[in-house]
Amino acid sequence: MNFLAGINVALFAFVIAIPTMVQADAGEGREIYQKHCAECHGAELQGGLGSSFLDHVWNYGEGPRTIWMTVKYGIPNLEMPAWKDVLSDGEIKSVVGFIVAQDKNSALVPPPMPEQVKTEIYGLALEVLDDSLDEPWSIAFINKTQALVTDKTGKLYQMLNGKIQKDFIRGLPQDITNINQAGLLDVVLDPDYADNGWIYLSYSQELAKAKDEKRARAMTRIIRGRIKDGNWIDQQILFEAPEEFYSTTRHHFGSRIVFDEQGYLYFSVGDRGAKEQAQDMSRPNGKIHRIHKDGSIPKDNPFLNQRGAIPSIFSFGHRNPQGLATHPVTKEVWSTEHGPMGGDELNHIRSAKNFGWPEITYGINYDGNIISAFTEKDGMEQPVHHWTPSIAVCDINFYAGDLFSGWKNNLLVTSLKYRDLRRLVIEGDKVVHEEVLLRGIGRMRSVTVGPDGAIYVLVNEPSLILRLTPIVDNKD
């Protein structure tokens, strides 16, 4: 048994080593470039139909390994072809090595952020409200002038009239771990905030490190509290997994929170890197949960009477859901989740449904091996929409404001890897149109519609809070 496990580990290490050991032969890379890429990206790499490789902008993800995947699998809906059937993995490595080296040597400065962008319906005005945070993750509006913003590093800030206040909220939990995807994540207000002042947070909580552990174990935790005179007070724990479910990885925490119209609180927990556990009802990971806002379990939760099942589970078979939103018309919950390499999903969440991870998926492993031969199975839900290759889909919100009346009920979607903000037109359970609204600014982490109808986008790398408003409403 141990012997076999050893072999698996060795094989795995070998396979994933291939794309990373970029020891490119510059001559071969240049030749492949001129033969296959120059017609679109320019003989001098200056760009043309395809992007420039001299401006230090990587809209579809940076670093040799990610760029290698872009070249191998192409960019769907754009004219960047997949090269996997034309070039060998080694040839792709050479050409990627070549273009990355040219970009490094180029003295061009990246283009400045645009102040205006044209979209299909609106001209968009972009305003940078803040660029002072480390890694903004989520924003919740109290009213037109006040909001709360989480910074993944573990700080909760107040924003007043679009300005982040220097003094962050004191007294937040001390056990927030901020490594990789772990950190202080979502912030959401109680639907009756004006009356009760409750603020809901999700974060990656780490346990005290045991003697024999190299790294402390961590897990998603949901709390609520109030703010008084700049202090976090009245804290209550709403969801916390038993310690046996904590693990040392700092990936796949899920952690988005949303309320539906009846006041149920939903939150997501990613599979924590243990994909089979997404199908195991005795474990909280790989699930979307539903609780009352005081943390108690609703009497009609679907797995309440199933022996051994965690009672807060509402739906299962999820990989890493980082987007949750309620549909403005049907009032049901929708979610997005990160697939592996491909198979990022938009799902319409319903009680007791199995969304299939990892038994069915449109994605493949990062080492190129397939995860499952199946994209569908009886008793498992199909995504409403999937993105293959992955755009690293993050937050979603339906546009329900008045400022962009032509976008009413459209779904706004952020992408980390492709660094864009998208608009999806949805009819019933079908995406009938998809438009990229913004690109080339940074990794888009979250999108929120403010009480003023403006769209607020939190960006990472660089860290920005953006406000989007229409320039002219040429729809009416």
The contact set with ligand HEC (CB under 6 A) reads: 36-37, 39-41, 49-51, 57-60, 67, 70-71, 75, 78-81, 83, 95, 99
Comparing CB distances to ligand HEC, the nearer of 50 and 383 is: 50
CA distance 99 to 63: 11
First to last CA, the chain: 68
Comparing CB distances to ligand HEC, the nearer of 79 and 195 is: 79
Would you give the DSSP letter of residue 277?
A: G
CA distance 388 to 308: 35
Q: How far is CA 36 from the centre of its chain?
A: 33
CA 352-353-358 angle, to 5 degrees, is: 125
Least gap, CB of 419 to ligand HEC (angstroms) = 8
CA distance 369 to 422: 29
Comparing CB distances to ligand HEC, the nearer of 234 and 461 is: 461
393-423 burial, b if ≥16 CB within 10 A, otherwise e? bbbbbbbbbebbeebeebbbbbbbbbbbbbb
Comparing CB distances to ligand HEC, the nearer of 138 and 460 is: 460
Asked if 191 and 263 count as a contact pair (C-beta separation under 8 A), the reply is yes
Least gap, CB of 415 to ligand HEC (angstroms) = 12
Residue 193 one-letter amino acid = Y
| Beta-strand pair 184-189/163-164 | unpaired
Least gap, CB of 470 to ligand HEC (angstroms) = 24
Comparing CB distances to ligand HEC, the nearer of 90 and 451 is: 90
The closest alpha carbon to 321, from 253, 422, 243, 233, belongs to 253
Q: Which two tokens stand for residue 473?
A: 């409403």
| Beta-strand pair 333-338/320-326 | antiparallel
Per annotation, catalytic residue among 36, 41, 56, 252: 252
Comparing CB distances to ligand HEC, the nearer of 59 and 255 is: 59
Comparing CB distances to ligand HEC, the nearer of 17 and 49 is: 49
Number of helical H runs and strand E runs in the chain:
6, 25
Least gap, CB of 39 to ligand HEC (angstroms) = 6
Residue 252 annotated as catalytic: yes
Least gap, CB of 68 to ligand HEC (angstroms) = 9
The closest alpha carbon to 441, from 474, 456, 423, 463, belongs to 463
Q: Which residues contact 355 (CB under 8 A, 6 or more apart)?
A: 315, 316, 317, 318, 337, 345, 347, 380, 381, 383
Comparing CB distances to ligand HEC, the nearer of 91 and 337 is: 91
Least gap, CB of 465 to ligand HEC (angstroms) = 24
The closest alpha carbon to 46, from 105, 38, 58, belongs to 38
Least gap, CB of 413 to ligand HEC (angstroms) = 17
CA distance 238 to 199: 12
Q: Which residues contact 2 (CB under 8 A, 6 or more apart)?
A: none
Residue with tokens 């698996």, as numbered in its chain: 8
Comparing CB distances to ligand HEC, the nearer of 48 and 451 is: 48
Q: Which two tokens stand for residue 222?
A: 């949901």
Q: Which two tokens stand for residue 208?
A: 């005290």
Least gap, CB of 11 to ligand HEC (angstroms) = 28
CA distance 457 to 454: 10
Least gap, CB of 76 to ligand HEC (angstroms) = 11
89-105 helix and 64-73 helix, angle to the nearest 10 degrees: 130
Which residues does the annotation mark as catalytic? 252
